[in-house]
Amino acid sequence: MDRDRHDEDERPIHGQRRSWAVYVERTTHQWVVRDPEGQFWILPSVDDAWRNRLPFRPTEDTGLDPVPGHYRHVLGLPF
């Protein structure tokens, strides 16, 4: 298995693999997070961004650029 992944981390949860990822949306330059349940969220530029997250629904025109997983610490993600 290739463990040299920079944009997402996969960890087993109850026998299943759940992954999360951090992206930057190309048009708005906003942080977008896919949580371990597969939901997408926009993180606003405020303190405690995760608590103030907003739902995000990508479309076929959405451009998401993956960013390294260590940004989860910068963004204060709980996973």
pLDDT at 16: 58
Domain boundaries, the chain: 20-75
Given pLDDT bands bounded at 50, 70 and 90, which one contains residue 1?
very low
| pLDDT the model gives residue 18 | 74
Per-residue model confidence as pLDDT tens digits over 51-61: 999 999 999 99
What does the pLDDT look like over 7-42, one tens digit per residue? 444 444 455 557 999 999 999 999 999 999 999 999
Buried b (16+ CB within 10 A) or exposed e, 12-50: eeeeeeebbbbbebeeeeebbbbbbeeebbbbeeeeebe
